[in-house]
Structure 1
Amino acid sequence: MIMMTPTTQYGRQAALFGLAAAGVYLVMIFVTLANIETLSGLRPFDMRPGGYSAELASALIDGLGPSGRQYYLTRQIPLDTVYPALMALTLVSLLKWLGSRDVSPKLVRVGIWLSVAAAVADYLENAGICFMILSWPDVAANTVLAASAASIVKSGLTTAAVLIVLLGAGFWACKGIRSYA
């Protein structure tokens, strides 16, 4: 049995999870979300980082029609059930890889928490979307508000987690340049 160093292990994990996440993301963007936009004439919930109103949510769900609502639940939601975990695992692996390269443990911990919290917010968003579609046409305004808030929180946390990874990579690169000079 070959033992890998943490650096190698985390690097491989980041690459594998990253490739899987990118593949799922591309399918969502170019297939399922594009189809939902074509069916409804509106950008899907997943593509609204600033959230949405009850009126917009109603217009989107109504515009999908019965088959579009079924498509959202059976095509987009399953993909978006896999994606948040893959994205979080990618970011966590990258952060652990950076941590094994002497990037601040505190920065790594914060980045890991942000990555996991972003995935949780994405799952809450997905639950809200499912609940809105399944309760159509009697969607409660509080349901839309909760799903919209989860979308906003997910976007903010994902952005923060990615920025932490970039900041850690920048620190690591600067250390390498200084030690080389």
Structure 2
Amino acid sequence: MKNLILKNLNGRKIIILFIFTNIIYSFMMLITIPKVMDYAGGMKILDIIPNGYNFEYVNSLLHALGSKGRHAYLYCQLPIDMIYPLFFGVTYSLITAYILNKLNTLETHLFYLCYVPLLSGLCDYLENIGIITILNRYPENSIISAQLTSIFSVAKSIFTITSFIILTLLLSVFVIKFFLKKKTST
């Protein structure tokens, strides 16, 4: 994995991935997620509940969605959300590695920070698999399916937030070092 990350530390490639990743994200947030939520009368879909949910909420949501809403969730939202985690994980892993490289700390233990976005993507996939299972088994869902899927939703949120905190801190250090270097050279 490390060699793959190191081999792809190219600014142009990272910018293209960043743009594409955020186009996918924007499409979901502006089109597919609101479309599915409309079927549910505005109830939040499971993908966007960062603090988890319980069995009762899952059943209420699936009931409110109706068959058309469940179909839209399964065949409109989730196919796109099966692409997004890969792009999120790879893109933000590469951005983290790129900044670490600029800080001359990529070859240290800090390299492991590059794995945090990948963990977010993995949890997103596990969440999606859980949601697909729940949608396909409705109305015969189990409490365990809802609980496991909720755990993956929370883990995805934790790793995503952690990824952005790491990036914010690394960018702050980079900017501070840049201005300090500029100040000492003048």
TM-score (norm 1): 0.91
Query: 2:151 and 2:109 mapped to 1: Cα distance?
Result: 26
C-alpha displacement at 1:114, in angstroms?
A: 0.7
Query: 1:136 and 1:109 mapped to 2: Cα distance?
Result: 42
CA contact (8 A) 2:55 2:143 kept: yes
CA contact (8 A) 1:73 1:130 kept: yes
AA of the residue aligned to 1:14: I
What is the match of residue 3 of structure 1? none
Query: 2:167 and 2:36 mapped to 1: Cα distance?
Result: 32
CA contact (8 A) 1:125 1:147 kept: yes
What is the match of residue 142 of structure 2? 140
C-alpha displacement at 1:9, in angstroms?
A: 4.9
CA contact (8 A) 1:91 1:115 kept: yes
Query: 1:127 and 1:61 mapped to 2: Cα distance?
Result: 16
What is the match of residue 128 of structure 1? 130
C-alpha displacement at 1:107, in angstroms?
A: 6.5
What is the match of residue 3 of structure 2? none
CA contact (8 A) 1:125 1:148 kept: yes
Query: 2:100 and 2:174 mapped to 1: Cα distance?
Result: 9
Q: For 2:103, what is the secondary structure of its paired residue?
A: coil
CA contact (8 A) 1:10 1:94 kept: no
Superimposed CA distance per residue, residues 123-143 of structure 1 (whole angstroms, 9 cap, x where no aligned partner): 000000000000000100000
What is the match of residue 32 of structure 1? 32
C-alpha displacement at 1:99, in angstroms?
A: 2.3
Q: For 1:100, what is the secondary structure of its paired residue?
A: helix
Q: Are 1:169 and 2:171 matched, yes or no?
A: yes
Q: Are 1:104 and 2:135 matched, yes or no?
A: no
Structure 2 residues without counterparts, runs of 5 or longer: 1-5
C-alpha displacement at 1:168, in angstroms?
A: 1.0
C-alpha displacement at 1:174, in angstroms?
A: 1.2
CA contact (8 A) 2:100 2:111 kept: no
TM-score (norm 2): 0.88
Identity of counterpart residues, as a percentage?
23
- My pick for the range that moved more, 165-174 or 129-138, is 165-174
Superimposed CA distance per residue, residues 79-106 of structure 1 (whole angstroms, 9 cap, x where no aligned partner): 1011111111221121121122125334
Structure 1 residues without counterparts, runs of 5 or longer: 1-5
Q: Are 1:158 and 2:157 matched, yes or no?
A: no
What is the match of residue 94 of structure 1? 95
Query: 1:22 and 1:84 mapped to 2: Cα distance?
Result: 11
